[in-house]
Structure 1
């Protein structure tokens, strides 16, 4: 009888320990799986944002030519106003086209600046160096083609880079 009682108690203790260890291991594995899932989701989000930034950069760089053309038209309009003032005539009203071009210029500059800033946040050191070269350019809307190509190269190398 004592022997049977010991077996029952030992079985109960082993069952309790087994279920406790099983629950602990299950919790640990679940927590690690959750951590991996969170890391994966973060990396996936980061890569998606980086790809969107590449698309925005391509559009911003494409609109730099538009800026150069618009600046020439605005200069012509402003020169006409300056000449009229110098000759003592009342200056012509700023044309509606010039006003629209100026507004478009501001939009393009804002988008270009925003994209460069976001590239510095979402990418690594190579991209940051390339962006800094573009920011340091004398005329922001006339970047050297080689600097733009170096930026795209750095972006390509760091698309899947994580610190």
Structure 2
């Protein structure tokens, strides 16, 4: 009976040792996995930090772009207001009248009244409905714009 107990005790001891080895293996594998997970978390944290910086930069650039676009919009709106005001003040009242000093240098065939306006800057391009048969070149310094209405 003693021998049986001794054999039984030895068998139990071997079972305990094998169980401890399996548990040690599992603990080592879990610890290794834990190290890998921590490494991946650190990498992802670094990427998130980098992306946060990029997002902040993009937001700043977007705000600058919006401010610049708004300035351009305001500038273009004011220029358009000046242009419309000029057309309403200067061009529209003269519509149908001959205004240029160089009119005697131009020979034209016309049915409708012709408007000739001296301008430093081209304001608008009009569609020509009649052909000019002959044009004498104007003198230097005289700019004429012929508009057929």
Give 1 or 2: higher helix fraction. 1
TM-score by length of 2: 0.44
The structure richer in strand per residue is: 2
TM-score (norm: length of structure 1): 0.41
Looking at CA atoms only, which structure, 1 or 2, has the larger radius of gyration? 2
Tell me which of the two structures has the higher relative contact order, counting C-alpha pairs closer than 8 angstroms and 6 or more residues apart.
1
